[in-house]
């Protein structure tokens, strides 16, 4: 049980409103949002939030913890990843249970779920299906019943996690009837492998050629295919890390036709561009899909304000420089992915809220409320309405600071945002009503993380 707390003098920002209010917390939950100055019962601790925004803690819908792919395992565990998350204002992560070749999805999920207790904040899990067999429907049924209704699939990474169209269709169909949802990485593998082969023949397969090896049209083609499957099934579907306006617009058009289809973009695709592959350390930016040309990045970002992007994740993958450099001469063998759980909120706030393009409520919607909704965690997470868990980021909207890896807490030795000066950062972060971070210092390192059993996802539209 945590002591009663009132957070006074701040401006509360929810996904649909923003106003001065005091936030009362008892036993780890928000009990009231009250007029500023409302008296507090004796024994209530006060936190001064004058001049601050008071936000629901961020919910990162796409975060890989200790992720093994190919010859590489990303370097963090739950304690390390969630410590970094909390320093960055994120208080819930959604991790992935990716089976190793031959491992059953349910076994992978149960093994990963057992790690949640090591976290400083709560977490949920996406399960993952790679191959279809007659045991999968029962596994999916028990996963949904156990609070894991979202299932990650990939149309790329042959021999690791790639699923064929039959498997995608069967998994989607089964989950639709269970109240679950496929969350999917779309890049047409045949186009990518062919492009990589041609690049390799031309001696252009090193990290500096990353963007050319995974073309935009591979993403467009795969999104169109998966949308067609979802539409024919009338099944909900969530596209992870969409990196181009074309891909986002395909999903938006399907949504206008009545499909429950969602777009996630990740911070690095909204901010960084492929010019970084021409720089001194291109390997540090190798991720899938790759960083795109500046006009594509700007076109993608314009969809934040229009509402066509549903969520912003980090796609956090904590590899270090040595891992990144070890295979830099061949992107086919490199560890893909960028560290970002700690920088997601500050970078997006600075670029788009401080930059004037987005209202703070839309920021909350994209980074907390919608990730909670699409993952069956709302209204426990992603809001400060009474009854919600008291996971709160007290955010200084005018703090200017320069991102440098030595000051961050992720289990790696670099950040893709090194040297970027940003505006806005969390000053105090509460998890379950307890102050965990204050003024850049870890105030409470006790692992109290829980695995969150997610509710079934919004039912798919009625079948027509
Ligand atoms: O490059 C990436 N995104 N690595 C992590 C695995 C994935 O595809 O999400
Ligand atoms: Zn992916
Ligand atoms: Zn558009
Ligand atoms: Zn990912």
**pLDDT tier at 73, thresholds 50, 70, 90:** very high
Strand order in the sheet with 421-431: 18-20, 11-13, 53-56, 392-402, 421-431, 434-438, 441-442
Which CATH fold would you assign to the domain 5-55+387-397+421-442?
Urease, subunit C; domain 1 (2.30.40)
Residue among 213, 219, 315, 316 to mutate when testing ligand 1 (max atoms within 8 A of CB): 315
Q: Where in the chain is CATH 2.30.40.10?
A: 5-55+387-397+421-442
For ligand 1, whether the C-beta of 317 sits within 6 Å is: yes
- The per-residue pLDDT for 2 is 82
DSSP H/E element including 72:
strand 72-73
Q: Nearest to residue 334, comparing CAs of 166, 433, 191, 210?
A: 210
Region of residue 452 (phi > 0: left; psi between -120 and 50: alpha; otherwise: beta): beta
Share of the chain above pLDDT 90, in %: 97
Residue nearest to atom 8 of ligand 1 (CA): 288
Q: Show the tokens assigned to 302.
A: 């314009």
- pLDDT category at 345 given cuts 50, 70, 90 is very high
CA angle 159, 186, 144 (to 5 degrees): 85
- Rounded Cα distance, 140 and 132, in Å: 11
Q: Which atom of ligand 1 is least distant from the CA of 156?
A: 8
Segment 427-432 mean pLDDT: 98
Please tell me whether residue 60 adopts helix, strand or coil conformation: strand
Mutate to test the pocket of ligand 1, among 241, 292, 333, 341 (most ligand atoms within 8 A of CB): 241
Place of tokens 């105090």: 428
On the CB side of 229, how many CA atoms lie within 13 Å of its CA? 23
The whole-number pLDDT of residue 188 equals 98
- The pLDDT value given to residue 94: 98
Contacts of 340 (CB under 8 A, 6+ apart): 266, 267, 268, 314, 315, 316, 416
For atom 2 of ligand 1, the residue with the nearest CA is 337
Look at residue 40 and give its three-state secondary structure.
coil
Distance CA 55, CA 368 (A): 9
Reported as a single tens digit per residue, the pLDDT across 220-273 is 999 999 999 999 999 999 999 999 999 999 999 999 999 999 999 999 999 999
| Whether residue 288 has its Cβ less than 6 Å from ligand 1 | yes
**CA 236 to ligand 2 centroid distance, Å:** 18
Q: What is the pLDDT of residues 150-180, one digit of tens each?
A: 999 999 999 999 999 999 999 999 999 999 9
At 447, the pLDDT band (50, 70, 90 cuts) reads very high
Q: What is the pLDDT of residues 58-67, one digit of tens each?
A: 999 999 999 9
pLDDT of 460 higher than 90: no
Strand partners, 438: 428, 441
306 burial type by CB count under 10 A (0-12 exposed, 13-18 middle, 19+ buried): exposed
Mapping DSSP to helix (H, G, I), strand (E, B) and coil, where does residue 253 land?
helix
> Is the pLDDT reported for residue 340 higher than 70?
yes
Averaged over 289-307, what is the pLDDT?
A: 97
Confidence check: pLDDT of 463 > 50:
no
Tell me the ipTM for this assembly.
0.93
Locate CATH 3.20.20.140 in the chain: 58-374
d(CA 385, CA 29): 10
The first and second tokens of residue 38, run together, are 């409302």
Question: Of ligand 1's atoms, which has the minimum distance to the CA of residue 64?
Answer: 5
CA-to-CA dists, residue 385 to 22, 343, 397, 455, angstroms:
12, 26, 22, 18
Evaluate the CA torsion angle 217, 221, 227, 228 in order and state its sign. Answer: positive
CATH (one of 3.30.70.1140, 3.40.930.10, 3.40.1280.10, 3.20.20.140) for 58-374:
3.20.20.140
> What is the distance, to the nearest Å, from the Cα of residue 84 to the centroid of all Cα atoms in its chain?
14
């Amino acid at each position: 049980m945590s002591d009663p707390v009132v957070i006074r003098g701040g401006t509360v920002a929810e996904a649909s409103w923003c106003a001065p209010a005091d936030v009362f917390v008892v036993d780890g939950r928000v009990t009231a949002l009250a007029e500023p100055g409302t008296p507090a019962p004796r024994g209530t601790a006060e936190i001064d939030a004058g001049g601050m925004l008071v936000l629901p803690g961020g919910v990162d819908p796409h975060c890989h913890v200790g992720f093994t792919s190919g010859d590489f395992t990303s370097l963090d565990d739950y304690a390390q990843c969630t410590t970094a998350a909390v320093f960055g204002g994120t208080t819930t992560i959604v991790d992935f249970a990716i089976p190793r070749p031959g491992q059953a999805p349910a076994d992978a999920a149960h093994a990963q779920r057992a790690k949640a207790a090591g976290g400083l904040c709560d977490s949920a899990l996406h399960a993952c299906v790679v191959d279809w067999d007659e045991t999968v429907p029962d596994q999916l049924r028990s996963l949904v019943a156990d609070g894991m209704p979202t299932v990650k699939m990939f149309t790329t990474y042959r021999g690791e996690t790639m699923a064929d169209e039959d498997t995608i269709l069967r998994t989607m169909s089964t989950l639709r009837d269970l109240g679950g949802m496929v969350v999917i990485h779309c890049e047409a593998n045949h186009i990518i492998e062919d492009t990589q082969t041609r690049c390799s023949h031309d001696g252009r397969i090193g990290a500096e050629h990353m963007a050319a090896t995974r073309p935009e049209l591979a993403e467009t083609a795969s999104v169109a295919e998966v949308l067609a499957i979802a539409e024919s099934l009338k099944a909900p579907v969530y596209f992870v890390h969409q990196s181009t306006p074309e891909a986002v617009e395909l999903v938006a058009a399907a949504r206008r036709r009545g499909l429950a289809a969602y777009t996630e973009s990740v911070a690095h695709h909204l901010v960084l561009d492929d010019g970084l592959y021409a720089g001194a350390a291109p390997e540090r930016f190798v991720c899938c899909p790759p960083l795109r040309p500046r006009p594509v990045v700007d076109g993608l970002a314009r969809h934040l304000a229009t509402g066509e992007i549903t969520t912003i994740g980090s796609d956090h993958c904590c590899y270090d420089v040595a891992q990144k450099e070890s295979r830099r001469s061949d992107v086919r063998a490199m560890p893909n992915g960028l560290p970002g759980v700690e920088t997601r909120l500050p970078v997006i706030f600075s670029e788009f809220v401080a930059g004037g393009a987005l209202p703070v409520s839309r920021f909350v919607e994209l980074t907390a409320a919608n990730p909670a909704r699409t993952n069956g965690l709302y209204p426990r997470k992603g809001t400060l309405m009474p009854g919600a868990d008291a996971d709160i980021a007290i955010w200084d909207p005018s703090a200017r600071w320069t991102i440098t890896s030595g000051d961050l807490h992720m289990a790696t030795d670099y950040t893709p945002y090194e040297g970027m000066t940003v505006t806005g950062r969390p000053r105090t972060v509460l998890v379950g009503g307890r102050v965990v971070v204050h003024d850049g210092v870890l105030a409470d390192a006790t692992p109290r993380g829980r695995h969150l059993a997610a509710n079934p996802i919004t039912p798919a539209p009625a079948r027509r």
